[in-house]
Structure 1
């Protein structure tokens, strides 16, 4: 597996834009991507390391 670096701030911004554009609720997104709500919100705040 390649070692990749992700910019969590850019990831958070992308998630926010996509969720808003799709008109989804945060709980729906968590369920669809199989992510816990706490993990999802940490990602949105740019505090999650991938």
Structure 2
């Protein structure tokens, strides 16, 4: 049935993916500036994708 809330989580998935993409882009920028080592970047990336 439409509107019964069966797919309420579906709208959250694109937002979560967008947040993850934004976080990864910011981390990449910080690493490119030299403010993060590759090891720090990898750890932060893993945490962002959990």
In the superposition, the TM-score normalised over structure 2's length comes to 0.41
Q: State the structure with bigger RCO (CA 8 A, min sep 6), 1 or 2.
A: 1
Compare the two structures and name the one with the higher helix fraction: 2
In the superposition, the TM-score normalised over structure 1's length comes to 0.41
